[in-house]
């Protein structure tokens, strides 16, 4: 299935049905009177967060969604039926924005969450509604109200505990394939990964979700290469795993290139906890390995991990470090939720 993380769609709620002008006229009934029913309400447009979806591909082939109109009122005091609603099913992590692409309408983060996007128009009153003590035979009825219409933008930000970042060919997809059951495309050329991927890591009796995004290159914040648009998929991560290719010319410069693009992107990504690791160490001799680790330590200002996803060397140590930060973040989030419950 093709990955799609952004879509612009048109929605319109249903118009309300018109009220009815009708009079009761039956044989052997001396006094008739108005009996026109009210019109039905138009259908609403809802967004619902559902399980089992991880892309917005459904909205590539259909961009217009219109709820049904309410039925008109009828004689014998029969009210019109309500119009059918439209429900937009979206994956967890979808943000719903106004047409400008900046104003946030809703953030769909939990399965089962529902948000009303456009309310259907009210049905019009029939002439029976206008009967008074002085006006016994009203000949008026209201038309139904019009529904609401708008363009909205759906933007998916994957929900994962940890995110992989680095230059193209840094070994991110190989690492994802090694520690999860995911099967990303792996090849010996840059930009093998064109779309974000997710995998579930099972380590030390626990699980967490790991996200892999296409590699960043110098100038990504200005649109060079695939740009930095996929960085939105690691915005929700609790920790970043920054992989640096050990076979690159200078590990320190490679690290600084990616950090510069992350800082230029903003959205608090540069402030997230980061674990730095030198990858592909199985392809290095001892002297080169020491030199690259020293360069990376000076650039990152921390002691980097050394790993080889191909041989498995150093992988468990990195997973332990990730789990440690993820657990701390989860404990802190629970503490914040508890404080909010006590002090709403």
Check whether 279 is labelled as a binding-site residue. Answer: yes
The answer to whether 233 and 172 have CB atoms below 8 angstroms apart is no
State how far the Cα of 11 lies from the Cα of 66, in Å rounded to an integer.
6
191 marked as part of a ligand binding site: yes
Q: H helices within the chain, ranges in order?
A: 58-61, 172-179, 251-265, 286-300, 315-342
Residue 193 marked in a binding site:
yes
- Of residues 164, 169, 163, 165, the one with CA closest to residue 283: 169
Does 124 show up as a binding residue in the annotation?
Answer: no
107 belongs to an annotated ligand binding site = no
The reply to whether 169 sits in an annotated binding site is yes
Measured distance CA(99)–CA(137) in Å, rounded: 48
Length of the chain: 344
Q: What is the DSSP letter of 180?
A: S
Question: Per the annotation, does 308 bind a ligand?
Answer: yes
Locate tokens 């064109």: which residue?
A: 194
Residue 282 annotated as part of some ligand binding site? yes
Please tell me whether 281 is known to bind a ligand. Answer: yes
Is 34 known as a binding-site position?
no
Q: Maximum Cα–Cα distance for the chain, whole Å?
A: 110
The strand ranges marked E within 110-258 are 114-118, 149-156, 162-165, 197-203, 206-212, 239-245
The answer on whether 214 is annotated among ligand-binding residues is: yes
CA angle 57, 60, 66 (to 5 degrees): 110
Evaluate whether 158 touches 196 at the Cβ level (below 8 Å). Answer: yes
271 is in an annotated binding site: no
Known binding residue 309? Answer is: yes
Interhelix angle 315-342/172-179, rounded to 10 degrees, is: 80
Q: Is 167 assigned to a binding site? A: yes
Residues 6+ away with beta carbon under 8 Å from 135: none
250 assigned binding-site residue = no
Element (H, E) at 154: strand 149-156
Known binding residue 27? Answer is no
Is 135 annotated among the ligand-binding residues? Answer: no
The answer to the question of whether 118 is labelled as a binding residue is: no
Query: Which residue numbers belong to the known binding site?
Result: 166-173, 191-195, 212-215, 279-282, 308-310
Query: Which residue numbers belong to the known binding site for GTP?
Result: 166-173, 191-195, 212-215, 279-282, 308-310
Query: Which residue numbers belong to the known binding site for Mg(2+)?
Result: 173, 193
């Amino acid at each position: 299935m093709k990955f799609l993380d952004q879509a612009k769609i048109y929605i319109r709620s249903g118009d309300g049905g018109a009220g009815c002008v009708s009079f009761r006229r039956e044989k052997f009934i001396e006094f008739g009177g108005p009996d026109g029913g009210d019109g039905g309400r138009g259908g609403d447009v809802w967004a619902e967060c559902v399980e089992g979806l991880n892309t917005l591909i459904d909205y590539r082939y259909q961009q217009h969604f219109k709820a049904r109109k309410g039925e008109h009122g009828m004689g014998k005091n029969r009210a019109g039926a309500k119009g059918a609603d439209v429900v937009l099913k979206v994956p967890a992590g979808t943000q719903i924005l106004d047409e400008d692409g900046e104003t946030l309408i809703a953030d769909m983060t939990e399965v089962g969450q529902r948000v009303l996007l456009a309310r259907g128009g009210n049905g019009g009153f029939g002439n029976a509604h206008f009967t008074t003590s002085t006006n016994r035979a009203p000949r008026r009825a209201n038309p139904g109200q019009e529904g609401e219409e708008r363009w909205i933008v759906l933007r998916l930000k994957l929900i994962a505990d940890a995110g992989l970042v680095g230059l193209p060919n840094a070994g991110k997809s190989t690492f994802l394939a090694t520690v999860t059951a995911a099967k990303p495309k792996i090849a010996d050329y840059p930009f093998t990964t064109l779309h974000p991927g997710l995998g579930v890591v099972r380590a030390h009796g626990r699980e967490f979700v790991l996200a892999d995004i296409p590699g960043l290159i110098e100038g990504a914040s200005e649109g060079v290469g695939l740009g930095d648009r996929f960085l939105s998929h690691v915005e929700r991560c609790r920790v970043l795993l920054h992989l640096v290719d050990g076979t690159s010319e200078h590990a320190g410069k490679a690290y600084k290139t990616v950090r510069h693009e992350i800082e230029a992107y903003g959205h608090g990504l540069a402030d997230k906890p980061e674990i730095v690791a030198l990858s592909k160490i199985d392809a290095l001799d001892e002297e080169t390995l020491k030199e690259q680790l020293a360069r990376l330590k000076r650039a990152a200002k921390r002691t980097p991990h050394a790993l080889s996803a191909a041989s498995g060397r150093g992988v468990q140590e990195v997973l332990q470090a990730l789990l440690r930060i993820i657990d701390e973040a989860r404990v802190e989030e629970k503490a914040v939720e508890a404080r909010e419950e006590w002090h709403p």
